[in-house]
């Protein structure tokens, strides 16, 4: 049975993650003990740490690192810098990462971390101080065979370089495999920066193969960071018409197509979309979710589509660039209307997949060319997509989300069962 909290609108990412898990567990017939194991968190690390600011004062920050389940291998998950970071959200993201790695066939369990900070409100020096201190705090629970952080919202390759350097200094030698998403010049992987957005493109091309792919499709992208911005640029390059884009403050609409490449280059330089002088009408960011387009890409944050706005969502196809952008209740409503959703567990797995490639390269002290990275990314994601579609077709009333969730949980259950319980 579903937990009692599922009766009302899911008001947190953790509530959504648990509801999705129990729904899949019902379909799989999991017993109470299996559910207890899979909804437990291996490690929940909370810390409060001081950071010296540019004026010589000290400010205390809250940080988290959560390990969900390590049955399939070392733990993998991003580090998020945001004023909205909470322990419940970090737990949900760690759980989703467990299922995502399993669906993609990666030998990882799920983890996640975060610091409550607005990275735009601190200087580069303060951000480095914060990163190095947070890394020192979590050093006892991370490592290339234990837990491998990566970039997430509010963090980037530079932050990962600081994390790797701090961890390495404490061990007396360079350990490139402790994080992924690093700059290529210090052990990062070619293709990692575009991996999540490129994965979205590969999956859409496969999903729409019988309809000519993405060429000519009208697209709205909600969120314009590393995932949304890269996806918009790649989709435009592939022949799609990206009519809507937005960051957290500004939306832009151009029925002829926004120049996504130019807009993203502007944003990558650290400037807000509101100041970009490209063609297009300025609109509210959340109006992008209600766009009359062929494909909607929610790529910003959790719970942007809920019962409050689901009736105004018009796209017949949604591919989730963010984690948990559609609440379970909104998901039910969209499914009832015949909307197809390519779920986050599959849709945004490109990032962690290439992170796996980066980790493999670091462990072997080898370097792959970008074409090899992209070819392997396409192969793994298309294999995963076809497995999910096959499950959805075989099972009655099974959505792609249901199928992906069930496959991920099954694979983790198998690993737990084979390994047994120690002692």
Just list the catalytic residues.
Answer: 112
Q: Distance (Å, rounded) from C-alpha 177 to C-alpha 192? A: 14
Sign of CA pseudo-dihedral 53, 86, 305, 342? positive
Residue with tokens 């979710």: 289
Largest CA distance in the chain: 64
Q: Distance (Å, rounded) from C-alpha 53 to C-alpha 126? A: 6
Edge-to-edge order in the sheet of strand 43-52: 43-52, 58-69, 109-116, 75-82, 147-151
| Among 410, 423, 359, 422, CA closest to 72 | 410
Q: Distance (Å, rounded) from C-alpha 229 to C-alpha 235? A: 10
Phi-psi region at 353: left, alpha or beta (left = phi > 0; alpha = psi -120 to 50)? alpha
| Among 372, 325, 315, CA closest to 347 | 325
Sequence-separated (6 or more) residues with CB below 8 Å from residue 270: none
Alpha-carbon dihedral of residues 325, 328, 334, 337, nearest 10 degrees? 170
Name the helix (H) or strand (E) containing 92.
helix 87-103
* Cβ atoms of 344 and 100 closer than 8 Å: yes
R_g over Cα of the chain: 20
| Among 412, 409, 246, CA closest to 321 | 246
Bond from prior residue into 423 cis (ω within 30 degrees of 0): yes
Q: Distance (Å, rounded) from C-alpha 115 to C-alpha 342? A: 29
Instruction: Give the pair of three-digit tokens for residue 31.
Output: 């017993």
Residue 89: alpha-carbon gap to chain centroid: 13
- CA distances in angstroms from 343 to 155, 317, 346, 405, 415, listed in the order given: 23, 11, 6, 9, 23
């Amino acid at each position: 049975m579903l937990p009692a909290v599922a009766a009302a609108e899911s008001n947190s990412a953790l509530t959504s993650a648990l509801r999705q898990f129990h729904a899949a567990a019902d379909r799989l017939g999991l017993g109470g003990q299996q559910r207890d194991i899979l909804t437990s968190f291996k490690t929940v690390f909370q810390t409060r740490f001081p950071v010296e600011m540019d004026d010589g004062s000290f400010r205390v920050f809250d940080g988290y690192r959560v390990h969900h389940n390590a049955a399939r291998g070392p733990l993998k998950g991003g580090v998020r810098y945001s004023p909205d970071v909470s322990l419940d959200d970090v737990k949900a993201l760690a759980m989703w990462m467990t299922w995502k790695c399993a669906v993609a066939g990666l030998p990882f369990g799920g983890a996640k971390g975060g610091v409550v900070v607005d990275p735009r409100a601190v200087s580069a020096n303060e951000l480095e101080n914060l990163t190095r201190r947070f890394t020192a705090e979590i050093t006892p629970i991370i490592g290339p065979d234990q837990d491998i952080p990566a970039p997430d919202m509010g963090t980037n390759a530079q932050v990962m370089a600081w994390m790797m350097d701090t961890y390495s200094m404490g061990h007396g030698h360079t350990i490139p495999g402790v994080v992924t998403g690093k700059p290529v010049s210090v052990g990062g992987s070619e293709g990692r920066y575009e991996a999540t957005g490129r994965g979205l493109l590969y999956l859409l091309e496969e999903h729409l193969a019988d309809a000519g792919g993405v060429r000519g499709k009208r697209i709205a992208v909600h969120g314009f960071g590393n995932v949304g911005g890269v996806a918009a640029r790649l989709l435009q390059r592939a022949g799609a018409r990206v009519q809507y884009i937005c960051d957290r403050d500004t939306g832009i609409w151009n029925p002829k197509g926004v120049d996504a490449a130019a807009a993203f280059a502007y944003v990558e330089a650290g400037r807000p979309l509101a100041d970009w002088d490209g063609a297009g009408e300025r609109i509210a960011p959340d109006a992008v979710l209600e766009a009359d387009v062929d494909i909607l890409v929610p790529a910003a944050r959790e719970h942007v589509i809920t019962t409050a706005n689901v009736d105004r969502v018009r796209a017949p196809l949604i591919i989730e660039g963010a984690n948990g952008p559609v609440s379970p209740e909104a998901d039910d409503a969209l499914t009832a209307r015949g909307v197809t959703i390519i779920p986050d567990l599959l849709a945004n797995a490109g990032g962690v997949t290439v992170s796996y490639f980066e980790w493999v390269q670091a462990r072997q002290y080898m370097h792959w060319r970008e074409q090899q990275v992209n070819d392997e990314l396409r192969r793994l994601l298309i294999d995963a997509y076809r497995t999910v579609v096959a499950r959805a077709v075989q099972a009655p009333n099974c959505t792609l989300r249901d199928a992906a969730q069930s496959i991920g949980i099954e694979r983790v259950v198998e690993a737990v069962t084979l390994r047994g319980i120690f002692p």
